[in-house]
Chains A and B, each alone.
Chain A
């Protein structure tokens, strides 16, 4: 696998802003991410975490700012990027099975006017196996549990064999076994030099799971290695009064 070794930054986001209708949800977001890191994006509801990923990947219009991936703009870097949308963003009653959904990750490589070949199927099967899902390959996707559906989504991203991965709340509503498999997989990706950014909700697991944290509340509150950034003071700046409530609950 060809890797860009002289590139210092995997991701550079420069003064990115985005809006829904006329309401600005992201304002002047700037940060850089080093290759081979596992970063969580953390912030309160409505902080713009999903919008950040979507506007970086041009799935949501930016009102300002530039983003580069491995030194290239999105349109040129597209093939090196894997994206895992929120599980709730699709209709799981769609008439298809788990293997077929994983195969969709290969559609970009297969190209127009061609159908998946046997080798593509084997690759998709391998990705399902690595997620502990091979026995569910031919099961209709609505017959899978939430955690299994999330594993199918991650398997679909794995077959893309991307350099950069963006995951939108992959641990939302999944069982403990799935959470472990997903985090092990992301750790392995990181160890293989891939760069991973994850929208993450559970503040209690941030320190265990991620080496970097991006604290976001419409703009970057703090960003850096987890042990430096993930402090009570910075969290308070990110969450304001909402955090006190969470602490009490814990």
Chain B
């Protein structure tokens, strides 16, 4: 495969995983948690690197899951002790992220980890960091890890589809019929963590938030059905990846930046033109009802 085909594939995989996880983030009103976890996984990655002296593979994912769960647990405990939820999120992830930054610059400075990279990602280098796989040959490492993550996300989402739906819509009722709501919350936080860390290399900690939140928010405006919302959110993620790549090539700018920008454009179009919840439709409806009251 050509250089740009690998980049497009990588970005599309990011778009799909983030699109799926993002729908649940939006429906559970946890968009800010995505921001938190996508930053604190950096600490997980750095600590995993310092412990194992390896920068790839399963160690990074374990480190990220632990960092994600620690973030979720700390946010929850501070909140229970009386700190506002949003403030608690802001305090926890910035602190963990800062520890990660300090560790990179003091202990891991000569590794492939640097702060610029972790914030912005570097999708342009991805095709060169390859592994040899049986049958398929040389494949970029990021494509392998993103494919595994997408598979895990899809599997967990589909196997427990009705439980995800119920715990997102009505957690209290879910608990009353015996669904382990808290356990599912932490499983979901783990999914957010592995998705973030897999997308981290490609798009970095800031852009991954755009990929998680924006396509799902746009999809929310187009439909009243959860399955449709999941499909749309994935499609918007992939579309943003492709648009972003070609815009970046055309303007010779950052690919991840252009991709995040593309998610914003897709959201803006949805916000204006979505059939029922877009502002044009809303405006039409309010004019129609005003006309109706006039006649009555």
Contacts and interface: CB of A to CB of B under 8 A. Distances in A.
A interacts with B: yes
B51 interface: no
B172 A115 contact: no
B177 interface: yes
B220 A108 contact: no
Interface string A63-93: 0000000000000001101010100011100
Chain A interface size band reads: 20 to 34
A95 B178 contact: no
Interface string B200-239: 0000000000000000000010011110110000000000
B106 interface: no
Given A89-B172, A104-B173, A112 B27 contact: no
Contact of B177 (A21, A101, A108, A115): A108
Contact of A89 (B29, B170, B178): B170
A235 interface: no
Contacts of A156: 173
A211 interface: no
B1 interface: no
Interface residues of B, number: 28
Nearest to A168: B172
Overall SS of chain B's interface:
helix
B177 A78 contact: yes
A160 interface: yes
B177 A96 contact: no
A96 B178 contact: no
Interface in B153-170: 159-163, 165-166, 168-170
Contacts of A116: 162
Given A113-B159, A116-B162, A83 B168 contact: no
B179 interface: yes
B134 interface: no
A115 B164 CA distance: 13
A54 B229 CA distance: 33
Contacts of A105: 177
A181 interface: no
B91 interface: no
A78 B178 CA distance: 7
A81 B176 CA distance: 8
13 contacts: A83-B176, A85-B172, A94-B168, A94-B169, A95-B27, A95-B220, A95-B223, A95-B229, A104-B162, A104-B170, A105-B177, A112-B160, A116-B162
Interface of B: 27, 29, 82, 159-163, 165-166, 168-170, 172-179, 220, 223-226, 228-229
Given A90-B170, A105-B177, A107-B179, 5 more contacts: A78-B177, A90-B169, A94-B169, A107-B162, A107-B177
Nearest 7 interchain pairs by C-beta: A140-B224, A108-B177, A83-B176, A94-B169, A90-B170, A95-B226, A85-B172
